[in-house]
């Protein structure tokens, strides 16, 4: 879930959350570029996850909260409340879906993702209105400076951007999207596998299976295997009724966008570069 916090939100924010939701025993769990996550105890002695968005990201609290309300706990963590820059959800500490995938049960993990995405994509009344369009989510990717990429990989970025322009030129139905579903974000709750905090996007249904092609993170024998890429695309297309070519297109776009985000933060893209060429090859052959 990220690194342990090196900084912390102000006591005022924690105190307000404690009063509003009857929370105590805050324990820092993780920090990302956009939020801190705490484990807290509710008045009924049950644990909960408190996510506090950092300045510049506070609008995401309402966005994420509205989508979790819409899911009603079907395939996603349950939402307890949203206030200002905070969101309170259920605490899930079961095993991650990456565990069976790494333990020789990758096909079953793919099936679990397909079932979970199917639950999230069920038509429900009154979808949230404040979701971020997928095209806007990918705007920085499409406008990225290719010179940040290694010389030998710039063609991978160029091809991925070309694919992105192609899929957006032929739009599909737009639905609410979790936005970042993958093995390392899916946890086992008492009711089955559920996805942790969503991004809250609006766009092509195929996007919600794209992140799983790059996960479990760093597992080369899985992620970089063309046989696995083909098998995942087949499974998602069959179980979710999505176009296979479009699934592969968004898988490549996701991997390239992930690389762009890492490069913008001065990080390594070795893992993305291990997977992206094979994603593009399988897409090209589809």
Render pLDDT for 49-73 as a digit per residue (tens, 0 to 9): 999 999 888 888 999 999 999 999 9
Predicted pLDDT at 8: 65
- Quick: pLDDT tens for 244-255: 999 999 999 999
pLDDT at 1 over 50: no
Q: Is 77 among the domain residues?
A: yes
| Average pLDDT for 36-58 | 91
Q: Is 194 among the domain residues?
A: yes
| Average pLDDT for 108-125 | 97
| Average pLDDT for 116-137 | 95
For residue 219, give Cα distances in angstroms to 51, 71, 98, 274: 28, 30, 10, 10
- Do 68 and 111 lie in one domain? The reply is no
- Do 212 and 105 lie in one domain? The reply is yes
- pLDDT category at 4 given cuts 50, 70, 90 is very low
pLDDT at 9 over 90: no
Domain stop point among 90, 116, 138: 90
CATH number of the domain bearing residue 270 = 3.90.1200.10
- Do 82 and 132 lie in one domain? The reply is no
| Average pLDDT for 156-184 | 95
Q: Is 3 among the domain residues?
A: no
- For the chain, strand residue ranges (E) read 24-31, 35-41, 47-53, 79-83, 86-90, 132-133, 175-177, 186-189, 192-195, 201-203
- Do 85 and 64 lie in one domain? The reply is yes
% of the chain exceeding 70 in pLDDT:
97
CATH number of the domain bearing residue 60 = 3.30.200.20
Q: Is 185 among the domain residues?
A: yes
- Quick: pLDDT tens for 17-26: 999 999 999 9
Q: Is 4 among the domain residues?
A: no
Domain stop point among 24, 58, 90: 90
- Quick: pLDDT tens for 215-244: 999 998 899 999 999 999 999 999 999 999
Residue 44, burial from CB neighbour count under 10 angstroms (0-12, 13-18, 19+): exposed
- Do 247 and 147 lie in one domain? The reply is yes
Domain span including residue 230: 98-285
Q: Is 236 among the domain residues?
A: yes
- Do 208 and 241 lie in one domain? The reply is yes
Q: What is the reported pTM?
A: 0.92
- Quick: pLDDT tens for 138-147: 999 999 999 9
DSSP-derived pairing of the beta strands 201-203 and 132-133? parallel
Predicted pLDDT at 5: 45
- Do 159 and 224 lie in one domain? The reply is yes
Q: Which residue has the higher pLDDT, 120 or 129?
A: 120
DSSP-derived pairing of the beta strands 86-90 and 132-133? unpaired
Total structural domains within the chain: 2
Question: CA-to-CA distance for 45 and 8, rounded, in angstroms?
Answer: 24
- Do 102 and 82 lie in one domain? The reply is no
- Do 72 and 103 lie in one domain? The reply is no
Q: Is 6 among the domain residues?
A: no
- Do 233 and 275 lie in one domain? The reply is yes
pLDDT at 2 over 70: no
Residue 216, preceding bond cis, omega within 30 degrees?
yes
The average confidence (pLDDT) of the chain is 93
CA angle 220, 223, 226 (to 5 degrees): 105
Q: Is 240 among the domain residues?
A: yes
| Average pLDDT for 281-286 | 96
- Do 194 and 211 lie in one domain? The reply is yes
- Do 36 and 114 lie in one domain? The reply is no
């Amino acid at each position: 879930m990220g690194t342990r916090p090196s900084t912390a939100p102000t006591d005022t924010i924690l105190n307000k959350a404690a009063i509003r939701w009857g929370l105590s025993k805050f324990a820092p769990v993780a920090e990302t570029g956009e939020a801190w996550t705490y484990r807290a105890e509710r008045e009924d002695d049950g644990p909960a996850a408190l996510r506090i968005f950092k300045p510049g990201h506070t609008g995401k609290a309402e966005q994420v909260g509205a989508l979790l309300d819409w899911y009603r706990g079907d395939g996603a963590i349950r939402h307890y409340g949203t206030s200002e820059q905070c969101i309170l959800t259920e605490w899930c500490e079961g095993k991650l879906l990456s565990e069976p995938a790494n333990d020789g049960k990758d096909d079953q993990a793919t099936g679990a993702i397909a079932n979970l995405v199917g639950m999230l994509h069920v038509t429900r009344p009154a979808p949230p209105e404040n979701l971020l369009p997928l095209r806007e989510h990918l705007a920085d990717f499409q406008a990225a400076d290719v010179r940040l990429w290694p010389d030998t990989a710039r063609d991978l970025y160029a091809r991925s951007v070309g694919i992105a322009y192609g899929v957006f030129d032929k739009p599909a139905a737009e639905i609410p999207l979790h936005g970042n579903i993958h093995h390392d974000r899916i946890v086992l709750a008492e009711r089955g596998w559920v996805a942790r905090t969503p991004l809250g996007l609006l766009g092509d249904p195929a996007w919600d299976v794209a992140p799983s092609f790059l996960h479990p993170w760093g597992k080369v024998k899985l992620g970089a295997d063309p046989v696995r890429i083909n098998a995942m695309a087949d499974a998602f297309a069959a179980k979710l009724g999505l176009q296979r070519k479009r699934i592969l297109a968004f898988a490549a776009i996701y991997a390239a966008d992930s690389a762009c985000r890492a490069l913008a933060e001065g990080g390594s893209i070795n893992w993305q570069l291990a997977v992206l060429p094979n994603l593009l090859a399988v897409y090209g052959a589809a």
